[in-house]
Structure 1
C-alpha cells in the first residue's frame, strides 16, 4: 500500500484498531498506525495533512458502514 491507497488504508486501520476513536485522533498517531500496517510500503515522509485527513474521513466512513 501507498499513501494514495486511501480506502485500503482505511479498511486496514479499522481491522487493526477497531477500538480507537477515529473521530478525535492526532495525526501523529494516525501517521504511526498507517506506517505500521502490514503491506504499507510507501515513504513515511511523503504524507501530509491533506492525505492524513482523507484517510481519517475514509476510516470514519468505513466504520459507519
Structure 2
C-alpha cells in the first residue's frame, strides 16, 4: 500500500508508532512534512502537500496519541 498526502489518518497512525517520543502538539510543519516523506510506504510528490494537509495530519496524530 502506498501512502499519499490525502491518507492523513494512516500517516498519523504511522507517525504515532514510529515517533512515540514526539509530542505532536509541538511539531513544526517543516519537520512534520519531512517525517511524512520519510515513511517507508509514502509515495506522493512533495508539491502535493499544503498547510491544510499538515494540519489534518497533526490533528489526527494528536488524537491517536490520546
TM-score with structure 2 length normalisation? 0.94
Q: CA RMSD in A?
A: 0.5
Q: Which runs of 4+ in 1 moved over 4 A?
A: none
How far residue 21 of structure 1 moved from its aligned partner, in angstroms, is 1.6
How far residue 11 of structure 1 moved from its aligned partner, in angstroms, is 0.5
2:18 to 5, 13, 16: 16
Matched residues, number = 64
Alignment-derived partner of residue 7 in structure 2: 5
Separation of aligned partners in 1, 2:27 and 2:6: 20
Gaps of at least 5 residues in structure 2 are none
